[in-house]
Amino acid sequence: MSLPRDLRFDGLKSLLIFLVVLGHLTFKDYGINLMEMIYSFHMPVFVFLSGYFTSLSSDKEKQRRWLKKTLIIFIVALIAQYILKLVLEYELSQLNGFEFSAYSILKPRSLVSPGFALWYLVCLMYWRIAVWRLGDAFNDRLLIILSCVAAILAGFIPLDNEFAFQRAFAFSPFFFIGLLFKKKRLVFQLERIPIGVAVMGIIVGLLIAREMPLYEPSRHYLACKDLILRLIQTILGLWLCLMVVRVSRCQFTKYFAWFGTKTLWIYVGHTYLIIFGRRFYPYWGISFNLFSAIIVAVLYCALIILIANSYESIRNKRSSLSTSQNT
């Protein structure tokens, strides 16, 4: 099943990817607890959309091509991250006069953990392989129930970032629910909710998230209360996910659609800017408040979009030139 491109979903992705970049910046928010509110829904909605737009085609060749392409992007991005971290660590050691050691970057535990923010690509491969291999063997609702149980019980296994294990299970219900919404075309049912009700639902959900600890599904449970916390935050994340998707069905989101077509570029590309900033901004005495962080996040996104457009323009010119020469 393939769906026509929906500009409203592209507009929603624009908001989400901006919040991803903003959420990875360190800034003073004057007690608003903005990070708690952002993290309560931005990745759950992203994962929901990943499920919604997952191809259900049985074409094995198309599946292999997608996996190969995603794996290459992940490996290249991961190697580039390690190189950047080593270079920055070396520069900082020279500036501060301490001995350089690559072990902190290349220690065994870090080598089995996806690089900063790259866990999403790993999890996306897990989820889609599961759908392509097991989807027909399970009833859709049963798959969602099993993913919810796994999301809660996975926290008992003493793994954190290794192999993106905790995130893969913690976010899996959102992926499979997104897939169900695609199969059953439930988005149209969601649009029956009055927009005012959805907006109030978002406000109430965010106020609850504001008073809760930061949603960090990458960690295993250290105490029984962590299980209850993950359960509550998963339910809250689902509620906010559905309400946000409902609000995004309004026509105004189409105006941001151009931005949403570059989400993968921004998701991968901003990691290098964040890694650089986290190491050198404190050294230079640079800090952000909420307002300056928003401006920096916009500039980061704009820079990556400029790079993406330049790359695609050069590639298209080469493709056109190659086509004309062959003819």
- Residue-range domain boundaries for the chain: 33-255
Which whole number is the average pLDDT over 263-281?
A: 95
pLDDT higher than threshold 60 for residue 3? no
- Alpha-helical (H) ranges within the chain are 7-23, 34-39, 42-52, 60-96, 103-106, 108-111, 119-134, 140-153, 165-170, 172-183, 187-190, 195-210, 224-248, 257-260, 263-284, 290-326
Mean pLDDT lowest among 3-7, 55-59, 125-129 = 3-7
Would you say residue 239 has pLDDT above 90?
A: yes
Query: Which of 171-180, 257-266, 318-327 holds the top average pLDDT?
Result: 171-180
pLDDT 10s digits, 138-197: 788 888 999 999 999 999 999 999 999 999 999 999 999 999 999 888 998 999 999 999
Question: Under a CB-based contact definition with an 8 Å cutoff, are residues 267 and 17 in contact?
Answer: yes
| Nearest Cα residue to 80 out of 233, 302, 271 | 271
* Backbone phi and psi for residue 53, each to the nearest 5 degrees, phi listed first: -100, 15
Q: How confident is the model at residue 217 (pLDDT cuts 50, 70, 90)?
A: very high
**What token pair was written down for 228?**
């209850």
Per-residue pLDDT, 223: 92
pLDDT at 108: 83
Mean pLDDT, residues 97-126 taken together:
89
Average pLDDT score, the chain: 91
Return the structure tokens found at 203: 């406000």
| Rg from Cα positions in the chain | 21
CA distance 162 to 167: 10
- For residue 97, the model assigns a pLDDT of 83
- CA–CA gap between residue 52 and residue 179 (Å, rounded): 5
Which residues, listed in sequence order, are joined to residue 27 by a DSSP beta bridge? 288
Q: Under DSSP, is residue 288 helix (H, G, I), strand (E, B) or coil?
A: strand
Residue 179: what pLDDT?
Answer: 93
Q: Could you tell me which of 200, 201, 175 has the C-alpha nearest to residue 43?
A: 175
CA angle, residues 288, 290, 292, in degrees to nearest 5: 55
Q: How far apart are the first and last CA of the chain?
A: 35
The model's pLDDT over 277-307, given as tens digits with 9 standing for 90+, comes to 999 999 899 999 999 999 999 999 999 999 9
> Which pLDDT belongs to residue 111?
84
109 touches 153 (CB < 8 A) = no
What tokens does 220 get?
């295993």
Confidence of residue 98 (pLDDT cuts 50, 70, 90): confident
The whole-number pLDDT of residue 135 equals: 65
Distance CA 308, CA 314 (A): 10
- How many residues would you count in the chain? 327
185: left (phi over 0), alpha (psi -120 to 50) or beta: left
Tens of pLDDT, residues 23-78: 999 999 999 999 999 999 999 999 999 999 998 877 899 999 999 999 999 999 99
Number of Cβ atoms within 10 Å of the Cβ of 135: 16
For helices 7-23 and 290-326, give the axis angle rounded to 10 degrees: 130
Q: What's the pLDDT band for 4 if we cut at 50, 70, 90?
A: low
Question: What integer pLDDT is reported at residue 231 of this predicted model?
Answer: 96
Compare 3 and 296 and report the one with higher pLDDT: 296
pLDDT for the residue 210: 96
Quickly state the pLDDT bin for 252 (edges 50, 70, 90): confident
Among residues 299, 279, 300, 296, the alpha carbon closest in space to that of 288 is found at 296
Count CA atoms within 13 Å of residue 194 on its CB side. 3
Which tokens is 120 given?
């999403």
Answer whether 233's CB lies under 8 Å from 212's CB.
Answer: yes
Output the 3-class SS for 90-106.
HHHHHHHCCCCCCHHHH
Tokens of 287: 């800090």
Q: Which residue has the higher pLDDT, 99 or 82?
A: 82
Query: Three-state DSSP class for 148?
Result: helix
Mean per-residue pLDDT, 220-230:
94
